Amino acid sequence: MIDNPIIERYGNLLKEEQLVTMDEKILPNTFVLEAPEPFPGYYGYYGETPQDSKPLYIYLVIDHLYTLEEVTRARLNIKKYFPSYFHADAGTVTIYNKTHHVIRVRHLDEYDQIKALQTAFMDEGIVFKRKPSKKIHSTGIIRLKKFFKLRQVEPGLYFDEVEKDHGYISIPRFVKWAEFEELTRKAKNNWSGGMFDSALGHFHNNFEIEDMIRIYNPHIDIDLLHMVQKTYLEQIK
């Protein structure tokens, strides 16, 4: 074991989610997507009873690519006066073979805050895309550019200090999305532990890239990370 240092990393995360167009609780004629069940690999995410009505993963579709600096400065400025905590990352959503630039929002307390947050981003110079005429209800591929705050529990094993149900396992090489889907299918076919959802990503570390897989489970612990990592590594040639 190591001393569990808290470390910060910049990186990317790639995942698949079911997305739907939001029609209410948003600014008129703006394009907003919601992932009502954000961890499709973890069945029963809501348990036996529905969760409280609160936004989980919201994607504000913006009209063009803003730099990471622009999105970060906008977020920091808004946090100075916005009445509740939220987290926002820049990214893209690819759906129906078309890629949209987005700001992914988490941890809002209620849907009524979405419109106010959109207004705050507009005050910071962010322009939103107009809502398309066709309502979306489909699987999308999400790529996020984000900062990670991590607790390293062993070399190559991390827990997320912001998202308490998330952990990360290092993998020895880069894999493309199609290969990751096949690896995940094989891993789950050879899996006897509890359910989990996974996403593909990497961290930038010491001028190099550390490839990793994000693991979600509401009861995540080091034993689960060990088991998942072992199962994936058995499939990666």
Q: Using one digit for the tens of pLDDT, what is the confidence trace for 180-232?
A: 999 999 998 888 877 899 999 999 999 999 999 999 999 999 999 999 999 99
C-alpha 131/C-alpha 116 separation (Å) is: 18
| pTM of the model as a whole | 0.90
Is position 5 within any domain?
A: no
Domain count, the chain: 2
Tokens encoding 4 = 């569990």
pLDDT in tens, 24-70: 999 999 999 999 876 666 555 444 434 456 788 999 999 999 998 99
Judge if 197 and 230 occupy the same domain. yes
C-alpha 234/C-alpha 189 separation (Å) is: 12
Asked whether 22 and 138 are in contact (CB, 8 A), the reply is: no
Judge if 131 and 19 occupy the same domain. yes
Of 141, 163, 194, the residue at which a domain comes to its end is 141
Asked whether 17 and 139 are in contact (CB, 8 A), the reply is: yes
Whose tokens are 């094989």? That residue is: 186
Judge if 117 and 163 occupy the same domain. no
Is position 33 within any domain?
A: yes
Judge if 163 and 228 occupy the same domain. yes
